[in-house]
Structure 1
Amino acid sequence: MLVGGISSGSFYFLASSLQNLVVASIFQSGMIIANMTIGSIAVELYPTTVVGIGLSLIMFSGRLGAMTSSYLFGYFMDTHCEIPIFVVAAVVILGGILGFFIPRRSLNILERKKSLTNGIEIHVLPNMNVKIR
């Protein structure tokens, strides 16, 4: 997301259509990667019983932001072109920075399992009606 934020902020300073194409491609690829990552990480943030509700809330927030931003962008592009460019850059960079503070739940679960067994791995063989001689 940091790469996407920096590239979206640089739109204001571009001069040629080739520069615009390159920066737009970098921005779009960064946003696609971030969107896929958010969907993958969000599954680990919520308990199993409410994962569906949590993902729905995340998707609802994204759709609400898309609706609001399309209305506001139309208004600001007519009056002040630089405001939407720098607001998007700031929000995306802030999202990239906040991504470093997402709790690592899967690592905590592994550490907790290790502390419960004192580092010893326990395997239980399934009952397969096999006689051992």
Structure 2
Amino acid sequence: MLRGQGPSENEPRSWEGIRRYLTTLQPTLIAWTAAGMTTLREVTSDHLHAALENLTGTARRQLATSLRSLFRALKRERLIFRDLARNLAVGDLTGIPRPVSSDLLAGLLDRAATPFARTASCDRRGSTR
């Protein structure tokens, strides 16, 4: 299917790309098979999130991208009913950092102890010390 030879026409992927997807997916697919799954129709969104749960960085991005591509292809060929990986977050999402209040930030900058910290810090008016 990924080579563009399935019932639905699509742009063919390179053999290198397919090999990279399969290498990334193999441990997850083996784990699912060991857990008793016999078809990808049995995969739930909980399974997808659990597969990504302990991964970070490039490993997480590669697996998430591979899962999204796999389930997109299966959905396009009507081998599964729903693409559960469609909304799967690809990056390392731990949430957006909350802003530090200006009062707390000013107090922290006033206590900068090293010359580097003093050089890099700004006072409340935005001027460099």
The TM-score normalised by the length of structure 2 is 0.26
TM-score (norm 1): 0.26
Higher relative helix content: 1
Q: Which has the higher contact order (CA 8 A, sep 6+)?
A: 1
